[in-house]
Amino acid sequence: MRTTLAVLTLVIACGATTPRAQDRSEAQAQVDFGIEVARRGLWNEAIFRWERAVDIDPTYAEAWNNLAIAFEQQGLLDQAREAYETALDLAPDNLAIEQNYDLFLEVSDRVSQSSR
């Protein structure tokens, strides 16, 4: 599962609009920091940062995507599924999020089948 996760895309959104640009800017700072710590393998800190980002701006699809990746990395598959689905609800045309979710479903299905 970890090998597949390595190919997932951490997404940074630029230029997305929200009711409060300051909220998106604050959320973006959390996302950026989360990406930095995730690259160092500090997944719990990344989860904390991306949860902060979606608390600040619940419409930030890319932050939900990154949170889903982190949950998946930590084996929290139910939470990962919910985060991916939220990301896709917010940005149904985002190809990176869709690809990540498809890979998640593939891996999740394999894990479920092997545990039977």
Q: What is the pLDDT along the chain (116 residues), one digit of tens a residue?
A: 443 443 456 655 544 444 578 889 999 999 999 999 999 999 999 999 999 999 999 999 999 999 999 999 999 999 999 999 999 999 999 999 999 999 999 988 877 777 76
- Residue 116's Cβ-count burial label (10 Å; 0-12, 13-18, 19+) is exposed
Closest alpha carbon to 80 in 90, 71, 93, 91: 71
Closest alpha carbon to 13 in 54, 48, 42, 47: 54
Verdict on whether the full-model pTM lies above 0.85: no
The CATH code that applies to domain 20-114 is 1.25.40.10
Domain boundaries, the chain: 20-114
